[in-house]
A and B are shown apart, each in its own frame.
Chain A
């Protein structure tokens, strides 16, 4: 069964600290993995996308890693800011099949950054 699991469910950190969010998936076959940031009541915004051959991708203070062998990804946030408070969603994509859904969303990690 194609599943995407994220941990922790929620996380509270002090402003300025670093944190790492985890994503484990059983989706197969694999095309790519994305991390999205979703502010409360807003639509998700793409942070990074990685294909099978990429194992690190950075976007400012966000660095995503991918281990396609163990089917694990992480999102590392450096020097957290209050505006980083949001849900972070891992999305895994399978190759396109006509008429089939090929996106699998994780349950998300709710990050709260406190001053």
Chain B
């Protein structure tokens, strides 16, 4: 199984809503990542979890809150988002986050904030 799955595929939410994005992998990878991608732009790294610990937070606003309940799951909790947060949110995983790792990306969640 070389797949990273993400749910939901699409999400529309209001600025006062609370929602969560979910990511799952069963490749035994110990590093997991959240990226944000705007249209026609490259992915921007948001968070990195390594061995279930947050190792990188790229100065992301607190309205985005990551959670890694176990080595296979990664959540991104959303609260009080702004319309400019609308984007494709990509999850990725890699063996253990070392330099030679290849990141395997999920299909993404298309988020629209109204």
Contact = CB atoms under 8 A, between A and B. Distances in A.
Interface residues of A, number: 28
Interface in A68-115: 89, 93-96, 98-103, 105-108, 110
A34 B42 CA distance: 14
A46 interface: yes
A43 B107 contact: yes
B106 A108 contact: no
Interface of B: 4, 40-45, 48, 55-56, 58, 88, 90-92, 97-100, 102-108, 110
30 contacts: A31-B99, A32-B99, A32-B100, A34-B102, A41-B88, A42-B108, A43-B91, A43-B107, A44-B43, A46-B103, A49-B100, A49-B102, A51-B100, A93-B99, A94-B99, A96-B97, A96-B99, A98-B55, A99-B55, A99-B56, A100-B56, A101-B45, A101-B56, A102-B99, A103-B103, A105-B43, A106-B42, A108-B40, A108-B42, A110-B40
